[in-house]
């Protein structure tokens, strides 16, 4: 596994940057160091990551790009976003072999943009489901098929070992056989650490009985899936990272936010000179030191805005008001 040459360029990019209005003037900061490390770090097994990461799902527009009238993202811009993320201190990137469009895949973009990889970069991927060439979902992989999915991620990313593989759960059934297959691949050295995604508490218990689980990656956000609160707390008590996806989009999921925003979120954002997106990300980070966010975007400007949320410190009054929003989930 070759890493390192991009790290020197990344370090230069972490120095103080001066920039003007971002996102049409919503965020005005004259001089500031923006770093994903401002929110602190967490360890995934023996790998230390900054708590603001990056989700690669949107880069190839993997859902909508299959529509005949869908516009594919500019490849060069996607590469720019990935390199900018690393410059801003992001060292945790979430991806999957099933994040792809007709023209490109997230894994291919990551490989092209960042290889040889920085020493501290952790790439998490997912296995379990798959997609055919038209983008249609395939049934959950059998234990025997999981090795092929792992090897495909290795090939696409140009790695000889995957840092972290999450088993994406499909439905309420048992995951014992699939997780045992991944544990076998971990013992063989193809995988460093294991996690689960879209999982229930009983899935976590099943997985832990087989091999160490370093993270749970589930849909969760302010006012979205508040029933997950107990699992978030349980993960924290056990030292397991909780990695929410759709932390910004909420019920919008892959389609993104609805375009409207809660009045309390808007009020708190104005009070801090921040954006509603930053408030939502900061709220998620305040749920516990073990919570890692992975907002995704294909826009360099939105990327900077997201990473700047690492520095946003909500007050106890802010959190009380936002808890009311959260528990009033639509």
Rounded-to-integer distance, Cα 290 and Cα 242, Å: 6
Task: Out of 6, 99, 100, 245, pick the active-site residue.
Answer: 99
Q: How far is CA 217 from the centre of its chain?
A: 8
Q: Which residues pair with 215 in a beta bridge?
A: 195, 241
Rounded-to-integer distance, Cα 239 and Cα 147, Å: 28
Q: How far is CA 2 from CA 119, 157, 158, 242, 312, in A?
A: 9, 12, 9, 29, 35
99 in catalytic set? yes
Are 214 and 201 in contact by the 8 Å Cβ rule? The answer is: no
Beta strand 215-219 pairing with 54-55: unpaired
Q: How far is CA 151 from the centre of its chain?
A: 21
Residue 176 three-state SS = helix
Q: Among all residues, which ones are annotated catalytic?
A: 99
């Amino acid at each position: 596994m070759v890493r390192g040459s991009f790290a020197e360029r990344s370090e230069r990019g972490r120095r103080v940057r001066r920039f003007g209005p971002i996102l049409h003037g919503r965020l005005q900061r004259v001089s500031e160091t923006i770093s994903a490390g401002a929110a602190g770090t967490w360890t995934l097994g023996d790998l230390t990551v900054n708590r603001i990461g990056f989700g690669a799902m949107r880069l190839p527009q993997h859902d909508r790009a299959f529509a005949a009238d869908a516009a594919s993202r500019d490849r060069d811009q996607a590469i720019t976003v990935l390199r900018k993320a690393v410059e801003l201190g992001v060292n945790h990137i979430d991806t999957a072999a099933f994040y792809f469009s007709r023209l490109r895949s997230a894994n291919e973009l990551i490989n092209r943009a960042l290889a040889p990889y920085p020493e501290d970069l952790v790439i998490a991927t997912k296995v379990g489901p798959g997609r055919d060439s038209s983008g249609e979902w395939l049934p959950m992989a059998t234990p025997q098929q999981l090795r092929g999915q792992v090897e495909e991620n290795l090939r696409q990313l140009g790695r000889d070992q995957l840092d972290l593989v999450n088993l994406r759960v499909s439905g309420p059934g048992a995951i014992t056989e699939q997780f045992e297959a991944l544990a076998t691949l971990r013992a063989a050295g193809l995988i460093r650490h294991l996690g689960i995604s879209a999982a229930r508490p009983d899935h976590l218990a099943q997985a832990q009985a087989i091999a160490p689980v370093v993270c749970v990656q589930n849909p969760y956000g302010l006012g979205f899936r508040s029933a997950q609160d107990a699992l978030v707390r349980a993960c924290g008590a056990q030292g397991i990272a909780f990695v929410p996806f759709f932390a910004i989009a909420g019920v919008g999921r892959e389609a993104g936010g609805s375009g409207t925003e809660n009045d309390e979120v808007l009020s708190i954002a104005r009070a801090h000179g921040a954006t509603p997106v930053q408030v939502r990300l900061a709220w998620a980070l305040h749920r516990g030191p073990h919570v890692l966010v992975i907002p995704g975007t294909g826009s360099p400007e939105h990327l900077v805005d997201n990473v700047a949320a690492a520095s946003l410190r909500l007050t106890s009054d802010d959190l009380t008001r936002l808890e009311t929003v959260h528990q009033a989930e639509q």
